[in-house]
Chains A and B, each alone.
Chain A
């Protein structure tokens, strides 16, 4: 049995003050992700998947429950500890890239390393290596505004990877990409997962994107609704996902 990278126990998240109109975003979610897994999280809008991601990525506090990442309980950490934790253990890929437009691609990718105090002479090779893996070596000296959306997202992926985090968290990473770019990004992520054993958790509402995952958790109304594993081909998994989504739809209606 591989070690757990993420362990979520009975996590609850309420918005608003107690006693008043409290809205429930997460209502006791529990699951865990093991090292080297590629997990997708799906669910309709408002199901709480983004909240879940925010809680795991330490950007938001859980109202109740325990979240452990790489063996550390993040719910009891202080603000600065959380910042350090994010910069060391987590890698982010956002829907809108979130690259800094005033830094070149190279500088963007190098930033997490600089922040951790990696010596300058070690930064160069690391950036180049990760850029090669993601096929963006040629555009390193350009600025984000000068490259395409797909390239931007690869850069974001490179930045998420470069400091070798415990897990990569994706928030709709293909959301702003066309199908070709989306496919190539997902293939790159799959390769990372397969060949380098990088753990990935990705929130998406796109079934095709989700079909690249090994396991998918479905969330509805702040609760875990269903969990499916990929056992055969991606096509078959894709159909399976569609079936579950359809089920979600009818149950709602």
Chain B
């Protein structure tokens, strides 16, 4: 009988349960998603340029487990709060406490079970879709990634069953501790627990120290290695949680303390809402901040690896295309490309030398890498200096004065690739001498387009045509090939970065939305009251926008700072980890902003009555 009753109670709060279930399902599926990568050891080791990738994934698993743990605990305490009043009423009517406790236990387990099954199904679907989409988008075709991955299913099941069991026990204990009266009046009890001054400052101080240690560890990752990952993981995570628990209420209090601002219009209510809510929000916001850091971080790393490909390629090859004696077909393709710089050099080949003219080269000075120490890797300049007539590239004998200056030698390396005439040396002569040389005449073309990546198809075709022209045995080399090699090398890591980024962002979204929407029912009467005393609905809407904006703002700021510091970790493997870092952050901001708008709309839908 009691069971039947409780089922009907469940039906009456279907909307809240739906919010709860969606939250749980998403956390299960994201966990699964992560594990399909983390447990697939062969795949990640084969496809990553980071040697300790396995360890990184282990650390990530631990972090995700911690976050999920808090999330599930919160979700279940929400479940309890949904049922408290009703259970209190049953008890008042004579139901035994033990029975109610059992009921609560069963309910938690059942909901956990249902969300586990749906979550894994969704997780398989998601990893299939995201995996396929990303592989297609990144032209990454490594096999070995399985969306349906049994070890991942097993681990997810065990992890969540334990979690749900734990929270079921916790819920039951909580329920058995409170009195009937407390239960019946549970919805009128204000959650007004204010932090004490001195203690808060202590915690805030501690959190900042922890974060400083974490950041220091990230900045010195190269020396600390695995230890660094562990240290930064532990300190950054705990520091973030403590920071939110101590500093955030203080900030809100400070905002509230400004009387002039506080007593202006609806601000009093907005800040009171925030202040009222912030204590229950701190842990969730810290979780969100961590997820922001992980999500935006993973995407940034993915993009940084992607950018790194181009940086490396540009570093090795200044000119996008180098071709000799282009065929008609090649010329056609070249004609369609917009070049920033394009030079043609005439040369002649006899049985000993390849001859270039001083005039030709000095008139069209190509760009070279200035020098190759690490910092000036990408620094480029046009060749300066004179080119002595009669000089020869690669001549050992410097004294004879016949060696080509070093800068020019670099330039000629590009113009006359080694593979064309492996047994010839290059000799510089003047125009008059050039006319006298007997030999096969040729033309060398080098070009730099306005955007290398925009003409991928063209480079590919030219590459193929050249290979055909030079013959299959020629060990050809081109910028396009270098790009392909680099990209193939990095694409596994890019894939993992994007994949995890998407997963974490989804989890973050559900976490925030869940928290805010789960509290919304309690706010209905507040907004109703404000409307009654004559607050314009536009003003109420403004208040909601403002309040939720602040709620969304804090974790985003902390998360982004984490990302910006954390990117430094990759400086040992990436040339410029911060190159274009604004791009993933802008992408993230756009996604985050749309979450914000959606949450505001959903929230408005709950707290405002339907207009007829």
Contact = CB atoms under 8 A, between A and B. Distances in A.
Are these two chains actual partners, yes or no?
yes
Interface of A: 57, 59, 79-80, 82-88, 90, 92, 94, 98-103, 107, 110-115, 117, 120, 123, 143, 145, 159
A89 to B, nearest CB: 9
Given A114-B267, A145-B192, A102 B532 contact: no
Interface residues of B, number: 30
Contacts of A82: 534
A145 B188 contact: yes
Contacts of A113: 263
Contacts of A112: 533-534
Contact of B538 (A80, A88, A114): A80
Given A101-B190, A107-B272, A143-B190, A117 B533 contact: no
B190 A102 contact: yes
B529 interface: yes
Contacts of B529: 98-100
B98 interface: no
Interface string B265-278: 11111001101100
A145 B192 CA distance: 9
Given A98-B529, A101-B190, A115 B534 contact: yes
Interface of B: 188-190, 192, 259-260, 262-269, 272-273, 275-276, 526, 529-539
B536 A114 contact: no
Contact of A88 (B264, B531, B534): B534
A28 B532 CA distance: 25
Contacts of B272: 100, 102-103, 107
B520 to A, nearest CB: 14
Given A114-B263, A120-B260, A83 B537 contact: yes
B213 to A, nearest CB: 37
B266 A80 contact: no
Count chain B CB atoms within 10 A of each CB in A82, A87, A99 and give the residue with the most: A87
Contact of A120 (B188, B189, B264): B264
A88 to B, nearest CB: 7
Nearest to A144: B190
Given A123-B263, A143-B192, A111 B534 contact: no
Contact of A92 (B188, B264, B269, B532): B532
B534 A90 contact: yes
5 nearest interchain CB pairs?
A: A87-B534, A86-B534, A102-B276, A83-B536, A120-B263
18 contacts: A80-B536, A80-B537, A80-B538, A86-B532, A99-B529, A101-B188, A101-B276, A101-B526, A102-B276, A111-B533, A112-B533, A112-B534, A113-B263, A114-B264, A115-B533, A115-B534, A120-B262, A145-B190
Contacts of B259: 120
B189 A145 contact: yes
B187 to A, nearest CB: 11
Contacts of A57: 532
Nearest to B522: A101
Given A107-B272, A111-B533, A145-B190, 15 more contacts: A57-B532, A83-B531, A83-B535, A84-B534, A86-B533, A86-B534, A98-B529, A100-B530, A101-B276, A103-B269, A103-B272, A111-B269, A120-B262, A145-B188, A159-B533
